[in-house]
Amino acid sequence: MERLDFGKMGYGCKHYRRRCKIRAPCCNEVFECRHCHNEATSMLRKIFDRHELIRQDVTQVICSVCDTEQPVAHVCTNCGVNMGEYFCEVCKFYDDDIDKGQFHCDDCGICRVGGRENFFHCNKCDSCYSVSLRNNHSCVEDSMRHHCPICYEFLFDSLKDTTVMKCGHTMHTECYHEMIKRDKYCCPICSRSTLDMTKAWKRMDEEVGLNIYSPRVHLIIELLACLVNFFMDDFCFIRILKLLLF
Ligand SMILES: [Zn+2]
Ligand SMILES: [Zn+2]
Ligand SMILES: [Zn+2]
Ligand SMILES: [Zn+2]
Ligand SMILES: [Zn+2]
Ligand SMILES: [Zn+2]
Ligand SMILES: [Zn+2]
Ligand SMILES: [Zn+2]
């Protein structure tokens, strides 16, 4: 039992604590992890040499404790340590730091972090989302299988948190906040407002002192709400409404 834990948290790279290295099936070289491989190969001078490692294709690992190369397995066949406290046989993924709450989603086909109990797999979006979004988001087919519109990292297996906007499109949470900070309030993909319109109406009510339930105002709001979804953010919406009414 103790042997399994030997060296736990003592090895790894800046991405993962783990007790093995991987032999990349694509270029036959040894790397600490998939991300180390991708970082190294993305810097290669010749553009055609650049490539990403396909995690499921890894077949050989090298135990960091005893340096023995061997087929992918949880326990080192030579020295008997767990090469990672968490091990996924599908992703050939090892991690000693189990506080991250790693779990494998069969539908996504990859390992995720954050605790299985905190996520559900949305079949329409075909990705895992936080349980708070269950029955509470607009589904967009393959919503996560694209690049973040701000930083262009592929979202589906990104290690960073993701925000689902009201329109159902997704981007990194930190990129979303950065965008809001710069006073940009519409989705960069479909231009719909990222803000909840009921909040905007309430704010307008306070700012302009309008009774938003009067029939005339209501009609204008309805009309503008259609437009706003396609062309503008709700600050622009308030500005136009003020112009129209006063
Ligand atoms: Zn490679
Ligand atoms: Zn690494
Ligand atoms: Zn070993
Ligand atoms: Zn996995
Ligand atoms: Zn999933
Ligand atoms: Zn969905
Ligand atoms: Zn991003
Ligand atoms: Zn959108």
DSSP string, 97-165: -GGG--EEETTTTEEE-S-GGGEEEETTTTEEEEGGGTTSS---TTTTSSB-TTT--BSTT-SS-EEE-
Ligand 6 geometric centre to CA of 171 (Å) = 14
CA 21 to ligand 2 centroid distance, Å: 9
pLDDT of 39 > 80? The answer is yes
Centre of ligand 2 to C-alpha 54, Å, is 14
pLDDT digits (tens, 9 = 90+) for 193-231: 776 555 666 666 666 666 656 667 666 666 666 666 555
Backbone φ and ψ of 157, nearest 5°:
-115, 25
* C-alpha 220 to ligand 1 mean position (Å): 58
Does the pLDDT of residue 140 top 80, yes or no? Answer: yes
Distance between Cα 67 and ligand 3 center (Å)? 6
**What's the CA-to-centroid distance between 78 and ligand 3, angstroms?**
5
- pLDDT above 80 (res 169): yes
CA of 140 to the centre of ligand 8 (A): 9
Dist. CA 102 → ligand 1 center (Å)? 25
Please give the distance, rounded to the nearest whole angstrom, from the Cα atom of residue 155 to the centre of ligand 8: 15
Q: Residue 194 burial (CB < 10 Å; 0-12/13-18/19+)?
A: buried
Q: Which ligand is nearest to the CA of 120?
A: 5
Ligand whose nearest atom lies closest to the CA of 160: 7
User: pLDDT tens for residues 82-138?
Assistant: 999 999 999 999 999 999 999 999 999 999 999 999 999 999 999 999 999 999 899
For every residue of 150-215, DSSP letters joined together read: TT--BSTT-SS-EEE-TTS-EEEHHHHHHHHHTT--B-TTT--BSS-HHHHHHHHHHHH---TTSH
Is the entire prediction scored with pTM above 0.85? no
Q: Residue 166: which pLDDT band, with cuts at 50, 70 and 90?
A: confident
